[in-house]
Amino acid sequence: MSDKTIIVITGANTGIGYEAVKAFLTASQPYHIFVGGRSPEKVESAINSFGDTGIHTLVPFQLDLLSDESIAAAYAKISSEVDHIDVLINNAGAASSTPTTRATLLQDYNVNVAGTYAITDTFIPLLIKSSNPRLLFLTSGLSSQEEAGKKDSPRYFNPPAGWPKPPAPAFLSYRVSKTALNMIMIDYDRLLKNDGVKVWCISPGILATNLGGNPEALKRMGAEDPYIGGVFIKNVVEGARDQDTGKVIRRQEVQLW
C-alpha cells in the first residue's frame, strides 16, 4: 500500500467520476482508489466493468452526501483500512433542471455545498497525513459570476418586459450552488496552506453526462465525451496544474470568478 497513491472519489459509479477512475487505471504509477456512490450495487457494477485493474486497486464504499450518518460510516470504513489518503476528489453532485423554486435551490445547495463541505471536513484528518495531499472540487463553467454578468455572454439572458418571464437558461439552482462551492474551495485553500494541501476547483467543460438529464441532447449542443473530464482530473492529481492552486481551472485556462 505504501507505494500506491490513495484516492477517495465520490460519485464515481457514473459520469465524470467513473471516467476519472478509468483514466487513473491507465497510469504507470499504482493507485489505490476508494470508489464512492450512493448505491452499493451500482458502485460494484462500475468496478466490475473495468475488469482486470492490473497494478491498481479499486475499493467500493457507500456514500450519500445528504446523510451525515453515511459520511461518518464512509470515514470509519476508509480510516480502518488506511492511515492516510493522498487525494480527495469531490465529484458527486446534483443538478435540478426544473424551474427554480425554493425546493430546487435547497436541494442543489444541500448536495453540492453542504454535503461536499461535510465530507471534506470529515476526511481532512486523513488527508493532511499525506506527504503530497491534494483536494479537488468539481465545479462548473456556469459558476462564473463574471461571465454570467457580461452582456455579450451567451449565459446572459435578457427577456422582454412583463411578468412572468419566459424560462431563463436552465440550472439556476445548480449554478448558484457551484458558485458557492467555489468559495468553499477558496476557504480550504486558505485553511490548509500550512498543511501543504494543494486545492482546486475543477471546471471540466460541457460534457455529455447524466447530470444534465440527457447526454444525447447535450451532445447535440456540443458537449464532449466525459472521458476528457476524467483525464483532466488525472492530470491535475499528477501535477499538471500545480501552478494554479486556489483557483477555478479549466482544461486550458483559469476560469474567471
The CATH code of the domain that includes 96 is 3.40.50.720
On whether the CB atoms of residues 96 and 108 are closer than 8 A, the answer is yes
Domain assignment of residue 26, yes or no: yes
Per-residue pLDDT band for 36 (boundaries 50, 70, 90) equals very high
Domain assignment of residue 87, yes or no: yes
Residue 248 has pLDDT above 90, yes or no: yes
Q: How confident is the prediction for the chain on average, in pLDDT? A: 91
Rounded Cα–Cα distance for residues 163 and 160 (Å): 9
Residues designated catalytic = 140, 174, 178
Residue 209 has pLDDT above 70, yes or no: no
The residue with cell 448558484 is 176
Adjacency order of strands within the sheet including 198-202 = 57-62, 31-37, 5-9, 87-90, 134-138, 198-202, 248-249
Rounded Cα–Cα distance for residues 255 and 145 (Å): 10
On whether the CB atoms of residues 142 and 210 are closer than 8 A, the answer is no
Rounded Cα–Cα distance for residues 30 and 54 (Å): 9
Higher pLDDT, 68 or 212: 68
Domain assignment of residue 12, yes or no: yes
Measured at the CA of 238, the angle between CA 79 and CA 208, to 5 degrees, comes to 90
pLDDT by residue (tens digit) across 157-167?
A: 778 899 887 76
Quote the number of domains for the chain.
1
At residue 169, the 3 state secondary structure works out as coil
Domain that holds residue 242: 5-150+170-249
Kindly report the pTM of this predicted structure.
0.93
Question: What are the φ and ψ backbone dihedral angles of 136, each rounded to 5 degrees?
Answer: -120, 140
Question: In the chain, how many H helices and how many E strands?
Answer: 9, 7
Lowest mean pLDDT among 76-90, 151-165, 223-237: 151-165
Per-residue pLDDT band for 214 (boundaries 50, 70, 90) equals low
Question: What are the φ and ψ backbone dihedral angles of 220, each rounded to 5 degrees?
Answer: -65, -20
